[in-house]
Structure 1
Amino acid sequence: MGHVAFGLLFALPAWFVWNDRASVVFVAFAAVASLFPDIDLWLVKLFPGQVHHHGVTHTVLFVTVASLVSAAVLAALFTGRIDEWIESERFDRSQLFVFSFLGLLAGGLSHVFADMLSAPDLSTPIEPLWPLVDGSWGIDVVWYNASWINVGFLTVMVVVHVSIAYLTTSPDHRHRLLPL
């Protein structure tokens, strides 16, 4: 819940850049990608002793590469199809690639950032800047499994998103930064 809440936090600018449906897609990309670095929890089971939690999948490098590859796949699969659903926004392949990449990157980086704030109490330290910087980075601000914080933060982010969506999509209250 905490990772999805951070994904929603990092996706907030979408409401001020794209129209309502495009913003929903961007927020969905970020929310899904906010869980992706924890793929190492599955990889640990497949490759015991070779992979560990908070390892390579919790780095800026991994998140960036995974976002690039996933955005390329999404752009190849959905160019020309997504325009019907999004309506007023039109994405060619390169625009859809950048849009997808930014949404996925926002979600993935939100996960890494959230773990930097909470991971040292239950798990191995996180090394987000590996291989450029060797060593862990983190501040033990929040207890990792504090469900009241995770539920509370997720609730706040959902309320904030719904409120901003209402304010930015109402015909009388268009507050987009970029006129697309």
Structure 2
Amino acid sequence: MVDVSGHLAMALLFAAPAWIIWKRRGALAFAGFALVTAMLPDVDLVLKTFLPIRHHGITHTILFVAVMSVLGGAIAAHMLTERFNANRLIHSETITEETVFVFATSGFLTGGLSHIFADLLSAPDVAQPLEPLWPLYDKPMAIDVIYYDSPLWNFGLLAVALAVHFVLFRHESYPLETRYRIGDRDDETAPAAADVD
């Protein structure tokens, strides 16, 4: 496992494709959400105080991350859709529950899977190797190319991830036309449209 900065960096790298799906505000929100969910698998550090589980056990599996992502996405869709449509910063009144579900579920998946991947790169240094494909494949797996406390890897990776997002933010983006778009108007053309009036 890398340290927290390494996990955040990996989450940002995994979230970079959001710039293809959403415009600036949506992509930034998605990256932020991935950062928040990047430590999801480490919930075992809290749970092991009252449950018979170990660190790098069940919570560090793709199955766990997928189930928690779908549950989190469903809860977010049910509780937040109306709030998003009422929020004037989102520039939309037509966000569907399906869109919120896809956004939230993808964010949970991105954060959780990035965490597992980062741990695969470094786990044997200070912790047990992971079994990310359990229950289909219950053998430990490790790539082991990063040392846990390496500032070069952790902060270097974070610097690269931030640079990638900065470049994508500054780049004239043309997101794919999907039914999961958020916002009725283009972030870049909204001020120009206001000037015409």
Q: Give 1:147 deviation, angstroms.
A: 2.5
Contact kept? 1:120, 1:138, Cα under 8 Å: yes
Secondary structure class of the residue paired with 2:131: coil
TM-score (norm 2): 0.82
The separation in 2 between residues aligned to 1:89 and 1:24, in whole angstroms, is 20
Residue 175 of structure 2 aligns with which residue?
Answer: 176
User: Quick check: which has more Rg, 1 or 2?
Assistant: 2
In the alignment, which of 152, 156, 159 is matched to residue 155 of structure 1? 159
How many equivalent pairs are there? 173
Equivalent residue letter for 2:55: H
Residue 131 of structure 1 aligns with which residue?
Answer: 135
Residue 107 of structure 2 aligns with which residue?
Answer: 103
Relative to total residues, which structure has the larger helix share, 1 or 2?
1
Mapped pair 1:86 → 2:90: yes
Contact kept? 2:19, 2:173, Cα under 8 Å: no
The separation in 2 between residues aligned to 1:10 and 1:90, in whole angstroms, is 28
Taking every aligned residue pair, what percent have the same amino acid on both sides?
A: 44
Residue 74 of structure 2 aligns with which residue?
Answer: 72
Mapped pair 1:146 → 2:145: no
Residue 170 of structure 1 aligns with which residue?
Answer: none
Are residues 65 and 141 of structure 1, via their aligned partners in 2, closer, same or farther at CA, if it must alter by over 3 Å?
same
The separation in 2 between residues aligned to 1:59 and 1:89, in whole angstroms, is 37
Q: Give 1:101 deviation, angstroms.
A: 0.5
Instruction: Give structure 1 stretches of 5+ with no counterpart.
Output: 168-172
The separation in 2 between residues aligned to 1:93 and 1:106, in whole angstroms, is 20
CA deviations 1:108-137 (Å, max 9, x no partner) are 111111111110111011000001111111
Contact kept? 2:72, 2:105, Cα under 8 Å: yes
The separation in 2 between residues aligned to 1:144 and 1:178, in whole angstroms, is 40
Query: RMSD of the alignment, in Å?
Result: 1.6
